Structure 1
Amino acid sequence: MSRLVPRQTPPPQIRPSPEPNPLAGDSRTPLERFRTKPKKPLSVTDLVSPAWCELQYFYTLSKFGRKPRTQAMKMGSKIHQALEDEIHTTIPVETVSKEDRFGLKLWNTIQGLRCLRQTGLTRELEIWGIVGGQVVNGVIDELSFACPDPDMEEKLELARAQQSGGTLPLGQLSIEQAFGKAKGIKLDLPDISVSSWLEETKRDRHVYIADVKTRGGRLLPKGASLRPTWMQLMLYRKLLESLFLNTVDAETIFARYGLAPLKSFSEAFILGGGVLGDADSDFDPENPYSILQANELISHPNLSSLWALMISEYQQTIPTISDILRAEFRYAKTGEVIGNELIIYNADTIDAYVEREMEWWKGSREAKGVEIEEAFKCRICDFAEECTWRKTKIEEATEKSRLRKGAREKSAI
């Protein structure tokens, strides 16, 4: 499948804030300061990075506007690009207007969904949604039809069936009955296997979401270090489901980006300078979809119609979205897989998390630092010396220690 990119797009530059103290004397909310027009809308990264430390992310945005690209991030980008190149061929294409450039994003999402439908795998799928009244954008590293853990899937399917009000298929065992039978307990029930019903329910394939993380070492993260990754995967699933169900208001998306949804794409973009193929041109063996693609863009000549085509591709491609979410960890120096971690999607968990983070973004509360149990994060934080939260926690700990010492001395008298 082809992945199109605009020709001669300059790389984004990050400039430190010219203010000597960017945190002082600004009463605007984080949303007003960092993610209001003409600045870009919220990203999935904006919502999940605070799961590591809200205050650290606030300091980062205040000084740079976004996370500066470290050497580790650059190595990670190379690995992501190599994985994408395994299934997508990148082709430059002419874009004239901002509608062309956003149309290119929609077109690549359409091609990514078709790749998933035809091959069972796609990577770098861009998505959009609305969370807490705000437009949110993200890119899912991987979607596939390959189940990462069939045993977990089986238990999940059975648990769902049991929790659906007891309306199991005729003769189907409950979870307790199924596990009881596996242990050899005699049950007065029809002899129907769990696997036979599971095969019935799997006529519609699940789509599985995965996120690829690179690590400087070969050890897997654990505990609090995994929290941002879990929130990221859950948010991806939440946004993907909204697109699949067609509950995302396209007009709100277009308005946030300042786009004219009925404005026609440029001829240069539709024909792609020969990349997409002229509708009257000969068949291009390097791009077998070229004639079809050109015709499709001619028949979907604006953002509104191309968005509708994208939604139809979602509904054709994704029968159901699995609740099993996978984080794949790779060694940054070589790209080799060092392990996977799985989590089950929980709508209540991500809804509560997002609601709390939106309170901070909208200024309803101040940013918080880490609790004492996660003080290890401060050792690798660039803002540790200027962090007011850290100083306050140190003072609180010192005072508690002084009070405990005083109490011991009094009891010893």
Structure 2
Amino acid sequence: MQPDGAPIPLENDNRPPFDRFRAGKKTLSVTDLVSGVWCEQQFKYSLERGFKRPTPAMKKGTKLHKVLEEQVHTTVQVEISTKEDQWGLKLFNMCQGLLCLRHGGLTRELSVFGFFNGYFIQGSIDEISYTNPGTHVAAKAPPTVASGETSDSDSDGGVLLPIDLTSPSPPPSTPEHELTVYVSDTKTRSSQTVPRGSQLRATILQLMLYHHLLSGLHAGDVDFTKILENFDLDGSKNFSDNLLAQIASLDSEISLEELLEKNSLWGLWGILQRKLRETINTIGNTLAVSYRSQKYGDIMETKTFEYDEALLTKHLNHTLDWWQGKRPTVGVEIEEAWKCGKCEFEPTCTWRLAKIEELKQAMEAKKKTKRKRSESPRKQKKP
């Protein structure tokens, strides 16, 4: 019998994945909702272990993304005292990201969030710009990534500071009535090839989900009261003096007077809603992913595709069924068994071993059928 409060052994834990792995955080990330596209069984193993072991390619990709982010803004460290401060910093950074977009025509790592079927979902959009990726050829200028480069900045505890606030608002090439923004992502590749076919599916769904979350925020469809309840936040509580003093000293279109007047989560939420309306008229349905070489930093290829609400909804419902424990974990099918060769869990993967056993049994059954046919008596032809 299991003692009260004792951890449940891994093999005996039959709770739904959300209760096992995300109940404490009260949220699902965009990554949580698309990682299973590659292989749900692999994703489950990573969750059970508690982390995904970073590969050298992943580390290089993180460095390159940091270089791209720092081309748009820098991160200034800020101390926070309460959970309301933490969320206040999140909302303020979103306002700063929109400021980058408004003045420079582009922003990176913009936080987005919302609800789907009662679950709070959040993510960070790699790039939003006023440039339609379907009509624009990306620049080939490579960012420089020094070998062994590391970064001490932490976006969870810092304020995004735009690099340049001197440009007119909006950018000269973007008339006031044409503030259409486009969502895109950058992926890095250790090889000189880019993904094709089914390998693109996770990225496509990721970008569609970003589009969906940004659209909900822009339309005012996100119920902030539910967010406060979900994270047990006091929407009327004043921010700490320390937080106000730090962010008031930074370059921002939010004055100290406005910060003092809107000194709460509800106040900052109202400012964010206004900034969204001022910066964005519409959200374009053309989405794009650019593949950069980790070795050279240049863009090898940019793929574009259109937002598909029906496809996204179908995927989210299917994935949430798994998170809710309504269906079993599904690994790769035989046609994509090549993925197993790249998986660290391959030797002990129960899905893979079961599929091998199924294949053996099918081959044995086929042999038996063939043997019976060869042993059956042949009828003589009548003269």
Q: Does 1:260 align with 2:260?
A: no
Q: Is the 8 A contact 2:26 2:120 kept in 1?
A: no
Which of 113, 122, 125 aligns to 2:98? It is 113
**3-state SS of paired residue (2:270):** helix
2:142 alignment counterpart? none
Q: 1:54 aligns with which of 3, 20, 40?
A: 40
Matched residues in 2 for 1:293 and 1:34: separation?
41
TM-aligned CA deviation for residue 117 of structure 1: 1.6
Instruction: Tell me if the contact between 1:329 and 1:337 (Cα under 8 Å) persists in the aligned partners.
Output: yes
- Tell me, what secondary structure is at the counterpart of 2:125? strand
Letter in 1 for 2:348: E
TM-score (ref. length: structure 1): 0.76
What residue is the counterpart of 2:304 in the other structure?
A: 342
Given that 1:224 and 1:374 are in contact with CA atoms closer than 8 Å, whether structure 2 keeps it comes out as no
Q: Counterparts of 1:317 and 1:289 in 2: how far apart (Å)?
A: 15
Q: Do the aligned partners of 1:324 and 1:342 also contact (CA within 8 Å) in 2?
A: yes
Pick from 273, 297, 306 the counterpart of residue 268 of structure 2. 306
Report SS of the residue matched to 1:24: helix
1:254 CA drift (Å) = 2.3
Partner SS for 1:340? strand
Q: 335-344 or 46-55: which moved more?
A: 335-344
Match of 1:246 among 200, 203, 220: 220
Structure 2 partner of 1:327: 289
> Which of these residues, 307, 310, 318, is aligned with residue 280 of structure 2?
318
For residues 75-134 of structure 1, give each alpha carbon's deviation from its aligned partner in whole angstroms, at most 9, with x where no partner exists: 222111111111112212232212112111110101111211222100000011111211
Residue 9 of structure 1 is matched in structure 2 by: none
Matching of residue 94 in structure 1 with residue 79 in structure 2: yes
Report if aligned partners of 1:75, 1:333 keep a CA contact under 8 Å in 2. Answer: no
Deviations along 1:298-328, one digit per CA (max 9) or x if unpaired, are 2221111111211221122111111111111
Listed as ranges, the matches of 1:136-151 within 5 Å are 136-150=121-135
Q: Is the 8 A contact 1:220 1:339 kept in 2?
A: yes
**1:227 positional shift:** 1.1
Q: Percent identity?
A: 40
Aligned to 2:70: 85
**CA distance in 1: counterparts of 2:26 and 2:52, whole angstroms:** 14
Q: Deviations over 1:209-245 (max 9, x none)?
A: 0011111111101111111111101111111111111
Distance 1:302 1:203, change over 3 A: closer
Structure 2 residue ranges without an equivalent (≥5): 1-6, 137-175, 376-383
- Kindly provide the amino acid, as one letter, of the partner of residue 29 in structure 1: P
Looking at structure 1, the residues matched to 324 and 192 of structure 2 have their Cα atoms a distance apart, in angstroms, of 38
Alpha-carbon separation, structure 2, partners of 1:40 and 1:330: 34
**1:3-402 correspondence to structure 2 within 5 Å:** 23-37=10-24, 39=25, 41-64=27-50, 66-150=51-135, 203-272=177-246, 276-277=248-249, 288-289=251-252, 292-402=254-364
TM-superposed deviation, 1:261: 1.3
Q: 1:203 to 1:264 in 2, by over 3 A?
A: closer
Label 1:79 to 1:261 Cα distance change in 2 as closer, same or farther (>3 A).
same
The match for 1:407 is 369
| Mapped partners of 1:44, 1:112: distance in 2 | 19
Gaps of 5+ in 1: 1-18, 152-201, 278-286
**What's the Cα RMSD here?**
2.3
1:231 to 1:308, Cα distance in 2 relative to 1, 3 A: same
Q: CA deviation at 1:333?
A: 3.2
Contact 1:22 1:63 in 2 (8 A): no
Distance 1:68 1:307 in 2: 36
Distance 2:190 2:54 in 1: 15
Q: Quote the Cα distance in structure 1 between the aligned partners of 2:46 and 2:291.
A: 25
